[in-house]
Amino acid sequence: MASTATKIGSSRNKTFMAILIPVLVIFCAFNTLPLITGFLYSFTDSKGYGAFNIVGLQNYIDMFSDTRILNSYLFTFKVAIVATLATNVISLMLAIGLSSKIKFKSALRGVYFVPRILGALVVGYVFSYFFTYIVPAITGGESILASTEWAWVAIVIVVVWQACAQTTIIYITGLSSVPEDVYEAGSLDGATGWDRFRYITFPLIMPSVTTNMVLVMKDMLMVFDQIVSMTSGGPAQSTESISYLIYNNGLSGGQFGYQCANAVIFFILIAVVSILQTKFLNSKEEQL
């Protein structure tokens, strides 16, 4: 019996390894290897083709005096912060509504999830037409996408509209995990309306809040498809996100090595922001 169990265990281990090893190879080939290669190229003046020279830390030093890069970071963080807050507030409101005792709430949940299914490029092109032709025809003004002052607002509207789908589902899951008897106990203590949400619901769904805040912030910092399809970084580079700048100047602008350095800094920055967010929100969970 022991021998049979050992053979079964060995067979299971071989099966797991047969599944794991190809996945690990693919992950390393398309994730780890490009990451290491990009890091090494960040110390060169490579244009993405032909010969190149080792320049050491010069790319990293030049970045801090590059106005275009600094402006792209400011734009990206402005969009990310506003969009993250807006997405979570709107999604939480939708989740509360879709968790209440209303008719057709299952169908409505499916409808609200549709934006997540659609491709970001397709959504961007549709909204680009909407902001370029339909809105000006209604208001009699010019397209918001042609304004260096307000084009970023259009980007925020689109990314929030699409991000709310998944975020709402996570909040609905969090709300469904709150025991009903907790609400009943709160009602006996006179907790209704805003007090019920503030002192009962919100503290109990803080894990969902933490998850959504971190995931949405990460996605918003990496905004790319909407920029490509709606503004291409314009007008006058006013909507040039970090991801778009790395892609555009790195692949077609002859700055491959320079933008690899930018990508390394961006990667570190996203990791740091995510870690700090998680620690801060986890501390708030403990306090609540």
Does the predicted model carry a pTM greater than 0.85?
yes
Q: Tell me if 133 sits within 8 A of 203, measured CB to CB.
A: no
Q: Tell me if 186 sits within 8 A of 144, measured CB to CB.
A: no
What does DSSP assign to residue 157?
H
Q: Tell me if 156 sits within 8 A of 79, measured CB to CB.
A: yes
Q: What is the pLDDT along the chain (288 residues), one digit of tens a residue?
A: 555 556 555 777 788 888 888 989 998 998 889 899 999 999 999 998 888 999 999 999 999 999 999 999 999 999 999 999 999 999 999 998 888 777 777 777 777 788 888 888 999 999 999 999 999 999 888 999 999 999 999 999 999 999 998 999 999 999 888 887 777 777 766 667 777 788 888 888 999 999 999 999 999 999 999 999 999 999 999 999 999 999 999 988 889 999 999 999 999 999 999 999 999 998 877 665
Distance of CA 180 to the CA centre of its chain: 32
Q: What number of CA atoms fall less than 13 Å from residue 190's CA on the CB side? A: 0
What does DSSP assign to residue 132?
I
Helices (H), 58-148: 58-63, 67-98, 105-117, 120-129, 135-139
Kindly tell me the burial class for residue 85, based on how many C-beta atoms sit within 10 Å of its own C-beta (0-12, 13-18, 19 or more): middle
Largest CA distance in the chain: 83
User: Helix (H, G, I), strand (E, B), or coil: what is residue 251?
Assistant: helix
